[in-house]
């Protein structure tokens, strides 16, 4: 028999996901000593930036008791519109302005989601499903459908700016771009909002019980509206980072990633019923998804099995706690 404390710890998704990551790394290092190097780590980190920012936004929505499938369309729309605008109006636009513009576009699109959800009170899945189509359709119809590789110079410049780059003594190359700082900033800001402001606590309260929140005098509409605007802004940031790191504004990219992002967030312990979710868990979920997407081959699984692996991880990671809860409920009668 396991002791209760172990059971409790293992019942938490964070611990489970962390354990799987550690196991993954051990197996990977055993089969390929080159796996556990600074190079791999910096590669994986870079691959986590866009996914990580999107996941944190998605987590916020889940905590508030909703779900958002439109954020990838928001991200790609904000990125592409910003690029087009910048190229048309001021190609030499400095990157801070480009970023601000994309975040602004993202927030605007998020506000559209917020309007339908907070003001009209429509179900979140249906609304975001609709806006996913609308945003993407609008983008490809009216803004453009060409891949642009001649980005504004400052956008390309940004992707070359490094916090640190070099070669370790053992000859491993590494590079940490400034976009990593964006992820860190998002983590800190979101953590602050969630844990240090009444707004953040209201988001948790909303996810716990909308009715109670309303009775307590929490402005439910305003809180919901904020959530979708904030998620939109984060998506705008993720979009422009994606464009600048990939050195291409591709209006067909990102969309289709939404289920992977939701998978990462759910693996990290956020619950669909709302009220639960941690940044640590979400980041661990992202790390696991990125590992599977990039390094599956290292532990001897062909990369064509990527989808199966992620799917199985979701089913195990969420099925185990669900099964335990079901058993506990049956015991209680």
Q: Which residues from 73-112 bind other proteins, rule CB under 8 A?
A: none
Per CB under 8 A, contacts with other proteins among 229-288 are 256, 259, 262-263, 266, 272-273, 275-276
From the list 27-35, 168-176, 237-245, 308-316, the region that binds other proteins by CB under 8 A is 308-316
Q: Which of 108, 138, 191, 294 binds other proteins (CB under 8 A)?
A: 138
Interatomic CA distance for residues 66 and 60, integer angstroms: 9
Structure-block tokens of residue 122: 């429509």
Scan for tokens 């910048």, then name that residue. 86
Nearer to other proteins, 96 or 319 (CB): 319
Residues in 143-182 at the binding interface with other proteins, rule: CB under 8 A? 145
133 binds other proteins (CB under 8 A): yes
Asked if 209 interacts with other proteins (CB under 8 A), we say yes
- Residue carrying structure tokens 């439910």: 220
Cβ contact 261:67 at 8 Å: no
Minimal distance in Å, beta carbon 153 to other proteins? 29
Give the C-alpha separation, 215 to 213, whole Å. Answer: 5
Report whether 274 contacts 65 (CB < 8 A): yes
CA distances from 58 to 53, 151, 162, 304 (A): 9, 28, 28, 27
User: Is 308 a residue that touches other proteins (CB under 8 A)?
Assistant: yes
Does 304 contact other proteins by CB under 8 A? Answer: yes
- Binding flag, residue 130, other proteins (CB under 8 A): yes
Minimum gap (Å) between residue 303 Cβ and other proteins:
9
The three state secondary structure string of 309-333 is HHHHHHHHHHHHHHHHHHHHHHHHC
- What element of type H or E holds 290? helix 279-295
Torsions phi, psi for 42 (to 5 deg): -70, -35
Nearest to 57 by CA among 40, 75, 41: 75
Please tell me whether residue 222 binds other proteins under the rule CB under 8 A. no
Give the total of residues touching other proteins (CB under 8 A): 74
x/- letters, 19..58, toward other proteins (CB under 8 A): ----------------------------------------
Query: Does 325 sit near other proteins (CB under 8 A)?
Result: yes
């Amino acid at each position: 028999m396991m002791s209760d404390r172990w059971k409790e710890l293992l019942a938490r998704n964070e611990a489970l996901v962390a354990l799987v990551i550690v196991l993954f790394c051990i197996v990977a290092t055993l089969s390929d000593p080159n796996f556990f190097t600074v190079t791999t780590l910096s590669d994986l980190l870079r691959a986590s930036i866009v996914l990580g920012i999107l996941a944190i936004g998605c987590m916020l929505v889940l905590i508030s008791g909703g779900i958002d499938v439109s954020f990838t369309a928001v991200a790609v729309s904000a990125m592409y519109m910003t690029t087009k605008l910048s190229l048309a109006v001021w190609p030499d636009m400095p990157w801070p302005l480009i970023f601000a513009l994309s975040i602004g576009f993202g927030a605007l699109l998020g506000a559209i989601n917020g309007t339908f959800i907070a003001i009209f009170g429509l179900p979140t899945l249906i609304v975001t499903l609709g806006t996913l189509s609308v945003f993407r359709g609008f983008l490809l119809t009216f803004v453009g459908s060409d891949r642009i590789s001649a980005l504004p110079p400052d956008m390309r410049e940004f992707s070359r700016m490094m916090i640190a780059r070099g070669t370790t003594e053992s000859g491993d190359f590494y590079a940490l771009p400034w976009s990593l700082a964006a992820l860190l900033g998002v983590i800190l800001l979101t953590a602050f909002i969630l844990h240090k402001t009444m707004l953040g606590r209201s988001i948790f309260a909303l996810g716990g019980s909308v009715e109670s929140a309303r009775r307590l005098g929490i402005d439910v509409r305003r809180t919901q509206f904020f959530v979708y605007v904030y998620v939109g802004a984060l998506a705008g940031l993720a979009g422009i980072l994606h464009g600048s790191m990939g050195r291409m504004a591709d209006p067909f990219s990102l969309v289709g990633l939404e289920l992977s992002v939701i998978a990462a967030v759910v693996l990290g312990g956020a619950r669909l019923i709302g009220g639960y979710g941690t940044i640590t868990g979400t980041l661990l979920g992202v790390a696991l998804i990125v590992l599977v997407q990039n390094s599956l081959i290292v532990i001897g699984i062909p990369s064509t099995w990527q989808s199966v692996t992620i799917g199985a991880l979701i089913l195990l990671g969420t099925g185990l706690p669900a099964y335990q809860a079901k058993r506990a409920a049956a015991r209680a009668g």
